[in-house]
């Protein structure tokens, strides 16, 4: 049995894995639960996520990635090895090639940590690509042509904004403001305004169920349960969309400013392309109601949400794996031009 090439989106919130020839085979939370007394791993992924905020003092719930990079090397290795063993991607005598993604602004030390954890998890060879580039490919952009492509990828730990042309990043910005910060701001707002404490999962549920950032008539409400700060007893309150808009205004403005910074530094010829083509919005942040309209209003260009915003990065790894040999030859100068082959089942976005 031969090993299989795999692509990994090692995200702060979720790990997604693409196996060449099979598609996306795994989408699990980046969470590991460990018994501190015995040092035994109790759960990984979805099962571990269910335990967040519900464990006794001797049980640690660990999210080993923070702000898009590895915060706990050993636990990341445990998590990744668990997923790869479960998928049985290793051959009898061989190990798989792994393509893994990283934010644009990480240090060489952080990049080496990603490479090392992939190797220790069972990789024969590791390729590392920058997330916005892979997200753009996963969204259906052929970035190897001499035209501007803009991606705004709002993930769990970072928001990556990039302009791409001729197969590489022309201008980019990566900020540690994304889904996790959104959740934290909702938590802080409810604590400050309503004097109750809610859990991490509750804050995330509020964001996805009634959250919005657009100045529209969209307005929902939701019952939220938490612990009263004064009495220590459970209490139920009602939260409205308008409140979530206020809670998220600060971090959303930081993402808008990062996108403006990238556009202001973009060469004029590429800027003119973007007036017509606009930008593509990907990542979990693309699911937040009104994010596309808000970015379009502030940036003055069309904004389109990717067909599968939460899977674009891992879809991009799959396309790159299919084109790996041709891409290597192109980089060595053996080809004068190179165009991605998206496969018969891949819908290519046309601008």
What is the DSSP code string of 71-122?
S-HHHHHHHHHHHHHHHT-S-SS---EEEEEE-TT--HHHHHHHHHHHHHTT
Span 156-160, mean pLDDT? 94
pLDDT-based confidence at residue 280 (cuts at 50, 70, 90): very high
Is 261 labeled as ligand-binding?
A: no
Contact yes or no for 61/52 (Cβ under 8 A): yes
Spacing of C-alpha 104 from chain mean position: 13
Looking at the structure, give the CATH architecture of the domain made up of residues 179-247: Alpha-Beta Complex (3.90)
Mind giving me the DSSP string for 275-337? HHH-EEEESGGGGSBTHHHHHHHHHSS-EEE-SSTTTHHHHHHHHHHHTHHHHHHHHTTS-S-
Mean pLDDT of 215-223: 86
Pairing of strands 69-70, 65-66: antiparallel
Q: How confident is the model at residue 64, as a pLDDT?
A: 95
Mean pLDDT within 331-337: 57
Question: pLDDT: is 335 or 82 the higher one?
Answer: 82
Which residues lie closer than 8 Å to 115 by C-beta, 6 or more apart?
A: 100, 126, 128
Q: Mean pLDDT of all residues in the chain?
A: 90
Identify whether the C-beta of residue 20 lies closer than 8 Å to the C-beta of residue 322: yes
Q: Is 158 annotated as a binding residue?
A: yes
Q: Report the C-alpha gap between 142 and 145 in whole angstroms.
A: 6
Q: What tokens does 34 get?
A: 């460990």
Cα(278)–Cα(270) distance, rounded to whole angstroms?
11
pLDDT the model gives residue 2: 52
Q: Would the annotation count 296 as a binding residue? A: no
pTM recorded for the entire structure: 0.89
- Tracing tokens 């089942």 back to the chain, one arrives at 345
Would you tell me which CATH number, out of the four given (2.40.50.90, 3.60.15.10, 3.30.420.40, 3.40.50.720), belongs to the domain 139-176+251-305?
Answer: 3.30.420.40
What is the percent of the chain where pLDDT is above 70? Answer: 90
Whether 207 has a binding-site annotation, put simply, is yes
Which of the two residues, 228 and 339, has the higher pLDDT score?
228
Q: Is 244 annotated as a binding residue?
A: no
Unique residue bearing structure tokens 């379009």: 296
DSSP state of 235: E
Where does the chain hold its CATH 3.30.420.40 domain(s)?
A: 6-135+312-331, 139-176+251-305
Instruction: Determine what percent of the chain is predicted with pLDDT higher than 90.
Output: 78
Q: pLDDT (tens digit, 9 = 90+) per residue, 1-36? A: 456 899 999 999 999 999 998 999 999 999 999 999
Domain 6-135+312-331 annotated CATH 3.30.420.40:
yes
User: Is 13 flagged in the annotation as binding?
Assistant: yes
* pLDDT score recorded for residue 104: 85
Cα 52 from Cα 160, distance rounded (Å)? 27
Determine contact, residues 312/139, Cβ cutoff 8 Å: yes
Q: Where in the chain is the domain with CATH 3.90.640.10?
A: 179-247
pLDDT (tens digit, 9 = 90+) per residue, 79-134? Answer: 999 999 998 876 656 788 999 998 888 889 999 999 999 999 888 889 999 999 99
Helix (H) or strand (E) holding 153: strand 149-154
Element (H, E) at 148: none
Strand 125-130: give its sheet, edge to edge. Answer: 23-29, 14-19, 6-10, 97-102, 125-130
Residues near 305 by beta carbon (within 8 Å), at least 6 away in sequence: 280, 281, 282, 286, 292
89 vs 232, which has greater pLDDT?
Answer: 232
Task: Please check if 76 is assigned to a binding site.
Answer: no
pLDDT of residue 251: 98
12 annotated binding-site participant? yes
């Amino acid at each position: 049995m031969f090993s299989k090439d795999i692509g990994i989106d090692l995200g702060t919130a979720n790990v997604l894995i693409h196996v060449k020839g099979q598609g996306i085979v795994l989408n699990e939370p980046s969470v590991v639960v460990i018994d501190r007394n015995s040092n035994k791993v109790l759960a990984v992924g979805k099962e571990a996520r269910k335990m967040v905020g519900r464990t006794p003092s001797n049980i640690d719930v660990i999210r080993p990635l923070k702000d898009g990079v590895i915060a706990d090397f050993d636990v990341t290795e445990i998590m990744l090895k668990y997923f790869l063993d479960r998928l049985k991607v290793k051959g009898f005598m061989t190990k798989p090639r792994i393509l893994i993604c990283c934010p644009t602004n990480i240090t060489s030390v952080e990049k080496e940590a990603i490479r090392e954890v992939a190797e220790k998890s069972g990789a024969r060879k590791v390729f590392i690509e920058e997330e916005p580039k892979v997200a753009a490919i996963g969204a259906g952009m052929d970035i190897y042509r001499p035209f501007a492509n803009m991606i705004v990828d709002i993930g769990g730990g970072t928001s990556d904004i990039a302009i791409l042309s001729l197969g590489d990043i022309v201008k980019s910005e990566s900020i540690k403001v994304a889904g996790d910060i959104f959740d934290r701001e909702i938590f802080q707002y409810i604590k400050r305004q309503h004097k109750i404490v809610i859990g991490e999962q509750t804050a995330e549920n509020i964001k996805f169920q009634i959250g919005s950032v657009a100045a529209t008539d969209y307005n929902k409400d939701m019952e939220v349960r938490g612990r009263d700060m004064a009495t220590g007893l459970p209490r139920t309150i009602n939260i409205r969309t308008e409140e979530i808009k206020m809670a998220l205004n600060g971090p959303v403005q930081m993402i808008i400013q990062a996108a403006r910074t990238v556009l202001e530094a973009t060469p004029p010829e590429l800027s003119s392309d973007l007036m017509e083509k606009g930008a593509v919005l990907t990542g979990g942040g693309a699911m937040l109601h009104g994010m596309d309209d808000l970015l379009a209003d502030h940036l003055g260009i069309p904004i389109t949400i990717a067909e599968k915003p939460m899977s674009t990065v891992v879809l991009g790894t799959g396309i790159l794996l299919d084109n790996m040999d041709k891409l290597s030859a192109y980089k060595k100068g053996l080809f004068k031009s190179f165009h991605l082959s998206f496969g018969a089942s891949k819908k290519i976005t046309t601008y």
